[in-house]
């Protein structure tokens, strides 16, 4: 565990919460703000939602160290009994239905059941992971940025992919050939996004620029690895 993480955990120990390098939120949409110099800054609004540590993985018991985080609450009647038992074992009252693991160098079992505090500040950098917008079944021009053929002068070749084979030898289509197919709906990470503002009282965080995913989609905000 780094010195910064240890200091952050010590600072929030009295409030019954713990600060990690990762937190899960909801992409609320995009807007714009103006800084003190009057510059226009496009920002993505991240809604801060409750995150709790629902399980602690230790080296002796599990072979590695990590925290399991629970987020996204639903009504109690919509939560499975097994999930309720798992949350009850961790002394978490929230009805979470989504869980994710965060690796750490020294997982402390004393943090089980504690709520996560936002460990990011303005002008720091984060990596944001989300699920990109689904585009359905798309052709090669949209999916792979093919140029296409002539648009006029009697051409019969406009948006097709063209030849995909190699004569009689080898007489097959090579694997990983760029062809039409399902586009989007994949996990994607955008690195080194600057944090413009963090407002825990109103429950939002502003990130400069765009982040992967659609509106109301879940995103993982983690400390930037390359900064």
Structural domain count of the chain: 2
pLDDT, averaged across the chain: 91
157-169: per-residue pLDDT in tens? 999 888 888 888 8
Answer whether residue 33 is part of any domain. yes
Answer whether residue 209 is part of any domain. yes
Domain co-membership, 189 together with 132: yes
Answer whether residue 8 is part of any domain. no
Domain co-membership, 103 together with 146: no
Domain of residue 134 covers 27-49+121-152+178-227
Strand bridging mode 96-103 / 66-73: antiparallel
| Separation in Å, CA 21 to CA 119, 139, 146, 224 | 6, 40, 40, 9
| Separation in Å, CA 187 to CA 37, 39, 217 | 36, 32, 12
**Collapsing DSSP states into helix, strand and coil, what is residue 199?**
strand
Check: CB of residue 163 under 8 Å from CB of residue 179.
Answer: no
pLDDT at residue number 89 = 95
Q: Is the dihedral angle over the CA atoms 12, 114, 24, 189 positive or is it negative? A: positive
State the pLDDT confidence band at 123, using cuts at 50, 70 and 90. Answer: very high
């Amino acid at each position: 565990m780094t010195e910064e993480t240890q200091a952050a955990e010590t600072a929030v120990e009295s409030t019954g919460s713990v600060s990690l390098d990762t937190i899960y939120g909801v992409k609320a949409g995009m807007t714009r703000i103006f800084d003190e110099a009057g510059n226009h800054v496009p920002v993505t609004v991240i809604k801060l939602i409750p995150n709790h540590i629902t399980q602690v993985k230790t080296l002796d018991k599990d072979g590695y160290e990590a925290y399991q985080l629970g987020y996204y609450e639903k009504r109690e009647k919509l939560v499975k009994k097994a999930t309720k038992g798992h949350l009850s074992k961790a002394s978490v009252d929230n009805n979470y239905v989504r869980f994710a693991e965060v690796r750490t160098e020294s997982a402390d079992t004393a943090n089980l059941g504690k709520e996560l505090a936002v460990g990011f500040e303005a002008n720091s950098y984060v990596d944001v992971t989300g699920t990109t917008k689904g585009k359905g079944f798309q052709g090669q021009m949209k999916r792979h940025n093919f140029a296409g053929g002539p648009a006029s002068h009697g051409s019969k070749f406009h948006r097709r992919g063209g030849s995909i084979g190699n004569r009689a030898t080898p007489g097959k289509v090579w694997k990983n050939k760029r062809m039409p197919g399902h586009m989007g709906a994949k996990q994607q990470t955008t690195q080194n996004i600057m944090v413009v503002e963090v407002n825990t009282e109103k429950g939002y965080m502003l990130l400069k620029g765009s982040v992967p995913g659609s509106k109301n989609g879940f995103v993982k905000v983690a400390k930037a690895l390359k900064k």
